[in-house]
A and B are shown apart, each in its own frame.
Chain A
Amino acid sequence: MSNPVGSVKRGPHDPTRAHPGSRQAEAEAWLQSLRSGGREREDAAARLDGLLVKAARFELLRRRAQWNRSGESLDDLAVQSADSALSALLSKLDHYRFESRFTTWAYKFAILEAAQLARRRAWQERELPIGPEEWDRLAESTPELAAGVAVRDQLRRVMRAIQTQLSAHQREVLTELVLAEVPIDVLAERLNTTRGALYKTLHDARRKLRDVVGSEADD
C-alpha cells in the first residue's frame, strides 16, 4: 500500500494506529482531489484505481477456484472489479465518515466487487439447485444425518416448521441460501432482487423458526 498522497506521511506499519491527524489529512486530501475537476481529479481517480486493482487481485487470488474455469485472466477480472468499485465508490463519497482510513474504506468496495464477480462466475452455468418440488425431499432427508437425539429432534421440528410456518417465498429463500448454499448475491440476481432484501427475508424466516423451537435453540 503506497502512500497515495505525497505530502502526507503514514504511521509506521499499522494503518489503524496511524496518527489520527494524518489519517484525517490523508482522507481530506483524497476527498478534495476526487471532488475537484480536471487533471487533479483524473490523477486521484487513477491512483485510487491502482489501489483498487491491487485489492481486487488480492481477493480474486483468494477465490481462484471460483473463476479460473471461466477462461478469463486475473488481470482482466481485477480491472473489471476495480472499475465497478471505483464508480460505486465515487457515487458514495458522501458516505465516508472519517471513521476509518480512506484507503480501508475504498478497499471494501474492491473486495465486494471482486467477491461478487467470482461468486457469479462460479454459478454462471448452474441452475439454482433446488426447485419447489425438491423442498419437501430436502426437508425430509436432511435430519437423517447422524446426530444426537436432541439435535435430531430439533432439526425435525425446524424442518417441519419450514414447511408449515413459512411463506412460499421465505421457504424458497431459506432453502436456496441455507440448504443449497447458493451465495446471496447470486440468488439476488436470479430472483431480481437485492442482497439486503433477501437477507431480510431470511432473517424473518429464521425468527419464525426460532420461535417454533423456542429458547433451547438460542445458543
Chain B
Amino acid sequence: MTDQRQTPDHLLRRLLGPAGPELGCEECFELLDVYVEAELAGADAHGRIPGMRAHLEGCPACAEEHDSLRELLSAAESTPLPA
C-alpha cells in the first residue's frame, strides 16, 4: 500500500465506497468508450452516463482502464500511436 492510500481518510473512503447508485464492472466496460469520448469532448459525461463516476471512484481496476483509454485517445490526437 502506498503512503497516500494509507491515510485513514482514504482507507475509510475505500472501505465504504461511493454512496449512491453506481454501475457494475460489466456496465462500466460496456460504456467506457462513450464516457471517455464525452469527457474529452467537454460534454456532460456524468449526466449522460449516471453511475459511471461513482463506479470509477469505487473500482480501482476500472479507474485505471478509464485513465488509460483517456490517455491513449489524448495521445493519439496529438501524435499517431508509436509503431
Chain A interface (Cβ < 8 Å from any Cβ of B): 1-2, 13-17, 51, 54-55, 57-59, 62, 95, 97, 99-101, 104-105, 107-108, 111-112, 115, 119, 142-143, 145-148, 151-152, 154-155, 158, 162, 174, 178, 181, 183-185, 195-196, 199-200, 202-203, 206-207, 209-210, 213, 217-218
Q: Determine if B8 and A151 form an interchain contact, defined as CB atoms under 8 angstroms apart.
A: yes
Residue B14 at the A interface, CB < 8 A?
yes
Beyond the given A152-B8, A206-B15, could you list 16 further A-B residue pairs with CB under 8 A, ordered by the A residue number? A16-B38, A17-B41, A57-B81, A95-B30, A107-B72, A107-B73, A111-B72, A112-B29, A145-B11, A154-B12, A155-B8, A158-B15, A184-B60, A199-B24, A203-B58, A218-B19
A104 x B16 contact (CB < 8 A): no
Q: How many A-B residue pairs have CB under 8 A?
A: 141
Question: What's the Cα separation between A144 and B22 when bound, in Å?
Answer: 31
Contacts of B37 in A (CB 8 A): 15-16, 100-101, 104
Report the 4 A-B pairs with minimum CB-CB distance, sorted nearest first.
A147-B8, A206-B17, A100-B33, A16-B41
CB of B26 within 8 A of CB of A2, answer no
Q: Please report the C-alpha to C-alpha distance between residue A183 and residue B59 in the assembled complex, in whole angstroms.
A: 10
Q: Indicate if B82 sits at the interface (CB-CB under 8 A).
A: yes
In the complex, what distance in Å separates the CA atom of A208 from the CA atom of B78?
A: 46
Report which of B9, B19, B25 forms a contact with A210, defined as CB distance below 8 A: B19
